[in-house]
Amino acid sequence: MNEVSPYTNAVIPPDDDGKLVIERKPLKLSPLDDSRNLRVLLQLIFAYESLLDEYALKQSLSATLSDQYFWPLTGRLMENKENELVIDWDSNDENVGKVPFIAAVFRGSETVRQLFSSRQPEEFQNWNFFWNDHPLKTTNYTGIHGPLLAVQFTKFENGSGCVLGVQLHHCLADARSFYNFMNCWSTLNKNETPLIKPLNSRIIQFTSSPSTDISLTNHSEYLLLPTKPGVSPIARTTLAETTIRMFHFSKEYLTRLKSMVQAKVPNEKLSTNSVLTAHIWQKVTNVRQVNENEITLLGFTMDIRQRVKPAMDQSYFGNAVIYAMASVHQSNDLSLEQLANTVQQVTSSTEQSTRVSSTLEFLNYHHHQGNLSRIFIGWKPFYGNDLFLSSWTQLSMYNAGEFEHGRRPIFVGFPFSPFTDGIGILCRSSLEDGSIDLFLGLRKDHMKNLNLYEI
């Protein structure tokens, strides 16, 4: 029987020789961070066929948390007198200023490769590869207290390798920030100097005091929740109702899919991402048996680092994404012509959402009105008919997870969550050849009928 048992619980302080150069005073989050739907944990599993050096991991993590790099991760999220989220170090938590590092052992007959090549992500929850004492796991999803970063290092007793479970609070980081953190940590672990140092100031180009009422009409990708306490847009259901599965799309498959759709709209410039996104959306909507002509929504994120003026540096640490949304009338027609139409809807929504300044002004307005904690996504993926897809395909998490030269992880992926229905993440595959992995959550009865490989 496979089981994971912790054997040491440590807390890692920043490596600053006892002298903090940067004063640990409350650090305000930007309006892009302070959003109700971001009060969750980002979790990633990194699986290795070699045993990483536990002591070296702790030392390099300590260096990563120093004043030179990701020192905000040692604080705690709190609400100030204006009900704004801030990172603070004035906490009753005796371990504030440090990061939990749990060491555990996996006991079982399966090797790392056997476990991660033959199992689906829904099964990972059974083996506790993550530090499981986080308040967000024991309270409601709006909880904000507890460590912002936690690491669990699990070595396999049979000597076949190890697993790193890394969880980071989403209010602090988007996908690129997570990538930058992992890249910095793994680089320091190899005794090399990181090429990028994080920009921790959280400065985004917002107008200082917007004076006009920004209507929600022009920003349907966002929803303003009621003021009644305790109202949650997420339906509570049992774990058994949902599952998460990984799909692999080869470079050859993606090329064929794109060329077939492109032939239907020869004058349109299509991207592989938009074609695959539309294909997934169409297939998922079909297995959900949505009524003919009913409107379904697709939500997705857009990195604004290079879309604002002046452009932000890629090293910016925080959430630098806005949401976009497309809509189509459900059709039981799964022809290439219908898929091409859906691709055009996705592409159009992407182009329209280059109105970054309008979105930032909208969020800044609600920031000044004290409404940010009420802002939520404008579609309903959880046990509804809508879908949310986030693309991490620009980021090589396999390279970022290379803590020792020539020893990249054999698997990088996401664990199971009960609230994954209608949520998917597109990632680069380990092959680094243009192929893409999709981690998709759906209700079990829908997932069993889903065939994404059929064109």
Instruction: Note the pLDDT tens digit of each residue in 284-337.
Output: 999 999 888 889 999 988 899 988 888 889 999 999 999 989 988 887 778 888
Q: What are the DSSP E strand ranges found in 346-435?
A: 375-377, 387-392, 411-413, 423-428
pLDDT of the residue at 240: 45
Structural domains of the chain in order of their starting residue, each with its CATH number:
3-207 (3.30.559.10), 239-395+416-447 (3.30.559.10)
- Give me the helices (H) in 79-174, please: 112-118, 135-138
Total Cβ atoms within 10 A of residue 133 = 14
pLDDT above 70 coverage of the chain, percent: 86
Question: Which pLDDT band, with edges at 50, 70 and 90, does 420 fall under?
Answer: confident
pLDDT of the residue at 29: 87
Stretch among 31-45, 204-218, 234-248, 330-344 having the lowest mean pLDDT: 204-218
Question: Which pLDDT band, with edges at 50, 70 and 90, does 130 fall under?
Answer: confident
Question: Which pLDDT band, with edges at 50, 70 and 90, does 281 fall under?
Answer: very high
* Nearest 10 degrees: Cα torsion 193, 198, 199, 204: 150
Mapping DSSP to helix (H, G, I), strand (E, B) and coil, where does residue 184 land?
helix
pLDDT of the residue at 436: 97
The mean per-residue pLDDT over the stretch 27-36 comes to 85
Question: Which pLDDT band, with edges at 50, 70 and 90, does 67 fall under?
Answer: very high
Where does residue 186 rank: exposed (0-12), middle (13-18), buried (19+ CB within 10 A)? buried
Is the pLDDT reported for residue 135 higher than 60?
no
Is the pLDDT reported for residue 142 higher than 50?
no
Give the residue, 342 or 146, on which the prediction is more confident. 342
What pTM value is reported for the model? 0.91
pLDDT of the residue at 231: 46
Highest-scoring range by mean pLDDT, 92-106, 144-158, 214-228, 254-268: 254-268
pLDDT of the residue at 408: 97
* Nearest 10 degrees: Cα torsion 282, 287, 292, 298: -40
- The mean pLDDT of the chain is 85
Q: What is the pLDDT of residues 159-204, one digit of tens each?
A: 999 999 999 999 999 999 999 999 999 999 999 999 989 999 876 6
